[in-house]
Copies of this chain bind each other. A is one copy, B any other.
Amino acid sequence: MALIVQKFGGSSVADPAGLRRVAKRIAQTSKAGNKVVVVVSAMGDTTDNLLDLAHNVTDNPPARELDILLTAGERISMALLAMAVNDEGVVARAFTGQQAGLHTDARYGNASITGIVPERIFRTVQDGAVAIIAGFQGVNDTNDVTTLGRGGSDTTAVAFAAALGADVCEIYTDVDGVLSADPRIVPAASQRRELSYEETLELAAHGAKVLHLRAVEFARKFNVALHVRSSFSENEGTWIVEETAKQGGYEDAVVVGVAHDRNQGKISVTGVPNLPGSAAKIFSCVAEADCNIDMIVQNTALTRVGLSNISFTVPRDQVDIAVAALRANQAEFGFEDIAVTSEIGILSIVGAGMRSHSGVSSKLFKTLGDNGVNVDMIGTSEIRISVVVDPDVLDAAARAVHTAFGLDASEEAIVYGGTGR
Contact = CB atoms under 8 A, between A and B. Distances in A.
A53 B16 contact: yes
A68 B58 CA distance: 27
A51 to B, nearest CB: 11
A79 B84 contact: no
A82 interface: yes
Contacts of A68: 75, 78-79, 94, 96
A364 to B, nearest CB: 50
A19 interface: yes
A86 B143 CA distance: 21
Contact of A94 (B19, B65, B80): B65
A50 interface: yes
A62 interface: yes
Q: What interface size band does chain A fall in?
A: 35 or more
A56 B94 contact: no
A340 interface: no
A57 B94 CA distance: 15
A69 interface: yes
Given A79-B65, A79-B66, A58 B72 contact: no
Number of copies: 2
A68 B64 CA distance: 21
B50 A76 contact: yes
B99 A143 contact: yes
Contacts of A16: 53, 56-57
A343 to B, nearest CB: 37
Nearest to A120: B143
A64 B76 contact: no
Nearest to A70: B79
Given A16-B56, A60-B86, 6 more contacts: A53-B76, A54-B83, A65-B83, A69-B83, A72-B75, A99-B143
Interface of A: 16, 19-20, 50, 53-54, 56-62, 64-66, 68-69, 71-72, 75-76, 78-80, 82-84, 86-87, 93-94, 96, 99, 143-145
